[in-house]
Amino acid sequence: MVTATFRFYEELNDFLPPARRRREFDAPCARAATAKHMIEALGVPHTEVELVLVNGESCGFGRMLRDGDRVAVYPKFESFDISSLLRVREHPLRMLGYGLRFIADAHLGGLARFLRMAGFDTLYDNNMGDREIEVISAEQQRIVLTRDRDLLKRRGVTHGCYVRALKPELQLREIVDRLDLAASMRPFTRCLRCNAPLRAVGKDEVLHRLPPAVRERHQLFVACDVCGGVFWQGSHWQRMRAVLAGVGAL
């Protein structure tokens, strides 16, 4: 029987039962178990992990565990310089180019809408299953957003975030803070309905599609060429501005 000693740090403890949080504990390992296998068997999705040390040396997820190994597992570091250590993924979670596109699962429709409002390319369809999300994430290099740990444990999901907050506005703040997105926001540039880019249009171009009250009160409009939506700066827009101001976008 192979037994290793584990210690998880910072927010990774949220995934553990109380008796195992913020302390070392021994755990039996399956035959030929890798670091990734055991980390996920203990309840922590691999997408939440940035660094693994075995006996004080950095290693990848594929490291085979041996009897007596001491395994330290860390999330994304905010200040500690780990440039000389082996990260467990080829591209860091926050790396531009693989981090500004998202795909949200069926339970995060509100968050998806807020991310689109902030200008981020965010796919969402409450009919998408875990397998479809996994495939799209890999093919389009999208970060998976979910509250489902099992989805983040899928082999094809290399970049993902477990969303801890329950309310969409708090979820937006959580993701913006975790991925340092404030400087990358481009508010009101994407369609809230279908995620396509918006373009400014003249009032005359959309006049026939506007309610009478809107025709009288508003002069500035944007439109979506995919779903045909037309948007203006009404009371709903003011509420959205307040949400974005709360996360530093305005």
Can you identify the CATH homologous superfamily of domain 2-74? Beta-grasp domain (3.10.20.30)
CA 40 remoteness from chain centre: 18
Q: How far is CA 5 from the centre of its chain?
A: 29
Helix (H, G, I), strand (E, B), or coil: what is residue 70? strand
The 8-class DSSP code of residue 68 comes to T
pLDDT for 77 equals 61
Taking only the tens place, the pLDDT of each residue in 45-95 is 999 998 999 999 999 999 999 999 999 999 976 444 444 455 555 555 554
Top-confidence residue, 185 or 8: 8
Q: Where do the domains of the chain lie?
A: 2-74, 101-184, 198-246
Enter the pTM of the model. 0.79
Report whether 42 contacts 9 (CB < 8 A): no
Looking at residue 233, its pLDDT comes to 87
> Bridge partners of 7?
72
Residues constituting the chain: 250
